[in-house]
Structure 1
Amino acid sequence: MHELKDKELIFVFTGPNGAGRRTVAQMSGTTLGIRQVISYTTRPPRSSEVDGQDYHFVSAERFAEAEAKNEFIEVIEIDGNRYGIKDADVTDQLQKHGAVYLVLNRYGADMLKKVYGDRAVRIFIYADRETVQRREEERGDSPEMIQRYMSHYEEEMAYKDACEHAFENLDLAHTVFDLTKALDDHYLNRNLLDLD
């Protein structure tokens, strides 16, 4: 397990599926110069997902091999699919860049908070139920998949108050602007220009 140094930070983007947490995380990461640590999963990719960019999509056998070698910080299972973050990936990116981000559900966010304490900063991205459902439909998720995601909506939303920061994502540009400014002011102190 990597012992975090003073300036090393892990930003964890979480929130309901369809709230735009991945898009917000990627745009914020690009703006702030923070690299993403990508999780591993045994679930199949959605039509819009790219291997190595959204997740490392691996077979159950490959996942089990890595788990047997204790390569994961921790493993969780949701709806029969397994998810994990490799300790070596976090360590490597932190040593190179000083701050990293991950996009995780509440279980993964909680797990990283337990492991890294104050060095893990949870950022909750959310939108109202109707907006989330519309976005899932627009990205082409099947009705069954949408129903499964929406069945978790309330429990995902209940995690908001546990997070260090929460941003409602109704207008992407505003959300990213507000979020990057908050992270820069509170943690990074990179003095981003305020062009307003």
Structure 2
Amino acid sequence: MYELKDQEMIFVFTGPNGAGRRTVAEMSGTTLGIKQVLSYTTRPPRPGEVDGEDYHFISGEAFIEADRRQEFMEVIEIDGFMYGIKDSDLAEMIQAGNAIYVVLNRYGAEMLKQLYGKNVVRISIYADRETILARQRDRGDSALMIERYMSHYDEEMAYRSECEHAFENIDSAHTMFDLTKILDGYLNRNLLDLD
């Protein structure tokens, strides 16, 4: 497992599916020049998701083989699908820039916090149930997918209190503006004067 240096940071975006955590993470990452480490998953892509941009979508056999070779930091199963982050991906990306971000559910966020402690900053991005349901319908999720995602809503919302920061995401641009100021403080760059 890669050993983080004191100044190296992992920003973990978590929260209910449909809250906009990936959108806010990408906007903040682009603004601050922070790269994303993608998870590998055995689940099929949702409409609009692209392999290598949203996740690394791989077969169950390929996932099991990589896990057998101990390539993953830790493996999590959710709704019958496997998820994992490769240690080599994390090491390569963080060495290139001292900070990375990942988009994970509460289990992945907690796993990274336990592994790396103070070097991990968890950011909960959330929205109310009705807003999330509308967003899931608007992006074309099936009724079955929405039911599966919403079955985790209360647990993801409860995890907010464990996170270092929480943002209700009504408007992604405003959320990103407030969040970027906070992340810039962790990076000690003082590059942004957003006021």
1:11 equivalent in structure 2: 11
Shift of 1:152: 1.1
Q: Report the secondary structure of 1:122's partner residue.
A: strand
2:94 equivalent in structure 1: 94
Unpaired stretches in structure 2, ≥5 consecutive residues:
none
1:114 equivalent in structure 2: 114
* Distance (Å, rounded) in 2 between the aligned partners of 1:172 and 1:26: 11
* Distance (Å, rounded) in 1 between the aligned partners of 2:67 and 2:152: 26
Q: Which amino acid aligns with 2:89?
A: D
* Distance (Å, rounded) in 2 between the aligned partners of 1:12 and 1:2: 17
Unpaired stretches in structure 1, ≥5 consecutive residues:
none
Shift of 1:140: 0.4
Structure-to-structure mapping, 1:29-178, within 5 angstroms: 29-178=29-178
Q: Report the secondary structure of 1:159's partner residue.
A: helix
Shift of 1:56: 0.1
TM-score by length of 2: 0.98
1:66–1:181 Cα change, 3 Å: same
Residues 122-145 of structure 1 show CA distances to partners (whole Å, capped at 9, x for unaligned) of 000000000000000000000111
Q: Report the secondary structure of 1:125's partner residue.
A: strand
1:172–1:45 Cα change, 3 Å: same
1:188 equivalent in structure 2: 187
Shift of 1:116: 0.7
Residues 79-122 of structure 1 show CA distances to partners (whole Å, capped at 9, x for unaligned) of 10000000000000011111000000000000001111110110
Sequence identity percentage? 71
* Distance (Å, rounded) in 2 between the aligned partners of 1:195 and 1:23: 20
Q: Report the secondary structure of 2:53's partner residue.
A: coil
* Distance (Å, rounded) in 2 between the aligned partners of 1:77 and 1:195: 40
* Distance (Å, rounded) in 2 between the aligned partners of 1:29 and 1:190: 14
* Distance (Å, rounded) in 2 between the aligned partners of 1:128 and 1:195: 27
1:190–1:62 Cα change, 3 Å: same
Shift of 1:189: 2.2
Q: CA RMSD in A?
A: 0.8
Q: Which amino acid aligns with 1:192?
A: L
* Distance (Å, rounded) in 1 between the aligned partners of 2:188 and 2:13: 20
- Whether the 8 Å contact between 1:181 and 1:192 is mirrored in structure 2 is no
- Whether the 8 Å contact between 1:124 and 1:166 is mirrored in structure 2 is yes
* Distance (Å, rounded) in 2 between the aligned partners of 1:195 and 1:39: 31
TM-score by length of 1: 0.97
- Whether the 8 Å contact between 1:127 and 1:170 is mirrored in structure 2 is yes
Shift of 1:195: 4.5
* Distance (Å, rounded) in 2 between the aligned partners of 1:103 and 1:190: 23
Number of residue equivalences: 195
* Distance (Å, rounded) in 2 between the aligned partners of 1:162 and 1:132: 21
